Amino acid sequence: MSRRAMSLLTQWSSRVFSVELDGAPFYFAIQERHRGEDMPQVFKEVQGHERCYSVLVCSSDRINQARFYAQLKDKLLRDLPKGCDLSPMSSFLPNIKDSLLKGYFLKEKSACSPLTEGLLRDVTQHDPVLVCSYLRSEDGDLWTQRLWKDADSQMMEMSNDYCVVSSEAPEYHPATLNIINSDVFYSFEEAYDVLKESADIIPEATSALELLPSRVEARSKPDFPVIVIEGLDATGKTTLTESLRDTLGAVLLRSPPKCLSPLRARFDREPPLIRRAFYALGNYITAEEIGQEGMKTPVIIDRFWHSTAAYAIATAVSGPVCNLPADSSEVYRWPTDLLQPSLVVLLTLDPEERKRRLRDRGQGETAEEQELDHNQLFRLKVEEAYRRISGPACITVDASPPADQVLQQVLLLIRGKCHL
């Protein structure tokens, strides 16, 4: 057993566990004795199942941990017997940053499947995981957790059964404990280190690193205004940014920058840690371009750091909008070493009108944009995350009027804020 796993076991009984059912987290805890507590809601939901399991990834190597977590899902979905359901799961220490372990919760209707047990035994032999069984009492009123022994180590006395009990929802959604420099990056160095660590297993990471500026420093603002236009697909960003370019005699840039386009499909297949680091570094390439162009002319940018952060936060935090970090959370702060724009405009549009425009365009969408179309909750979280980002904050503009009216409204904002 790894040193990382052993350290986790010393505070095992202090951890809270979360299982995602229908997109919302359900929480439970463990204790040595049952004191008449109510059965956790997640186990009420699985009463039709005879046995459950959890598999939590605990590698000390963050790159391997992120990739293995994604690969583990594929392996389980492929090899588990029929009738065994899979749900995302996590374990964490409340309010302790970087304490989150991610994994999966398995629900099985048969009393004990040799195929499931054999598959999980095989996983524990070769991979950085902690596996638990959850056993239901004969009367069905109590579930217990049993942490599997590692045959190759002296795993203390961790084969003890723990009673599963209810746990209140934590003050902060557990995903927020690990968002900083994992889902959202707040410095060039943090994102750079992830791609550098990935280079041995992802050759394209080296290609991406070669495109980066040799050194990134917090810059003073360019001589001319820098205006960012944000918004979901089909809110009119392209039309508006091109109109602003022509009207103001500005330079138009896009983020991610064009030089990353050949690599995007490759990094879109990677887990969030690596994928988000790649797109975070794209913002720094764009910032370098802004610094050069902004000394000569106004700069218009089609998306920037707000998009990178808003989509990442909304994806990481499951459940309703209220699960997002509070307005004052540090996850919404602007990176200290990234050039700050003069003005950020967020275009908003009625969901049905946005869908109509997408249909009319007939263009392909990213996976995240497809998620926006069939998941209203995800769209609401993205839009709310946009609104909560500070330094600078977004100014919301209704994009439903004709394009020329939207242009005039944004020009008024630019003249008022940027004195153009």
DSSP per-residue string spanning 167-206: -PPPSS-GGGGG-BTTTB--SHHHHHHHHHHHTTT-HHHH
Q: So what's the pLDDT on residue 127? A: 73
DSSP letters, 126-137, are HSSEEEEEEEE-
Tell me, what's the pLDDT at 154?
42
Is a pLDDT exceeding 80 seen at residue 151?
A: no
Cα–Cα distances (Å) from 121 to 53, 89, 109, 130, 403, in that order, read 12, 19, 19, 11, 60
pLDDT band at 141 (very low <50, low <70, confident <90, very high): confident
- CATH numbers and ranges of domains, the chain: 3-171 (no CATH), 179-418 (3.40.50.300)
Question: For residues 334 and 44, what is the distance between their CA atoms, to the nearest angstrom?
Answer: 42
Answer for the pair 311, 382: CB distance below 8 angstroms, yes or no. Answer: yes
pLDDT by residue (tens digit) across 261-280? 999 999 999 999 999 999 99
321 pairs with which residues across the strands? none
HSE, side-chain direction, 13 A CA sphere, residue 303: 21
Dihedral angle sign, alpha carbons of residues 334, 339, 345, 348: negative
Q: How many alpha carbons lie under 13 Å from residue 15 in its C-beta half-sphere?
A: 19
Separation between Cα atoms, residue 349 and residue 351, nearest integer Å = 6
Residue 324: the pLDDT is 95
CB 178 within 8 A of CB 98: yes
Q: Tell me the range of 40-44, 159-163, 303-307 where mean pLDDT is highest.
A: 303-307
Mean pLDDT of 217-244: 87
Q: Give this prediction's pTM.
A: 0.89
Spatial separation of the C-alpha atoms in residues 216 and 187, rounded to whole Å:
9
Q: State the pLDDT confidence band at 334, using cuts at 50, 70 and 90.
A: very high
The predicted structure's pLDDT at residue 410: 96
The percent of residues in the chain predicted with pLDDT above 70, rounded, is: 90
Lowest pLDDT segment from 3-7, 32-36, 101-105, 134-138: 3-7
**Beta-carbon count within 10 A of 331 CB:** 21
pLDDT digits (tens, 9 = 90+) for 21-80: 888 899 999 998 888 888 899 998 887 777 899 999 988 899 999 999 999 999 999 998
- pLDDT reported for residue 125: 78
